[in-house]
Structure 1
């Protein structure tokens, strides 16, 4: 008898995991991970550009 996990949503899903696949593990949808990585990269890039502008252009 298969164990069904909680309901999935547009943002996450559950998949069988564990050594004998007897547990349900929470997973983010791939598109959510991509969006989070892109947002983190944009924030990091913004901070780096701001620091460069401050170092080079501050009087």
Structure 2
């Protein structure tokens, strides 16, 4: 599902943010971590894509 969403955003927009939100109840499960690792590798294989951290820590003064 996330791959399809990313492919759409990459195809349709010149610039975009693609946030991934994961519920804390599942974020630490091994199978979820493996899936996220594969998703990150897939997304980073596209030209012009950069990985950024959340801006939340930058907004707090």
TM-score (norm 2): 0.33
Higher relative contact order (CA 8 A, sep 6+): 2
TM-score (norm 1): 0.34
Q: Report the structure number with the largest CA radius of gyration.
A: 1
More strand by share: 1
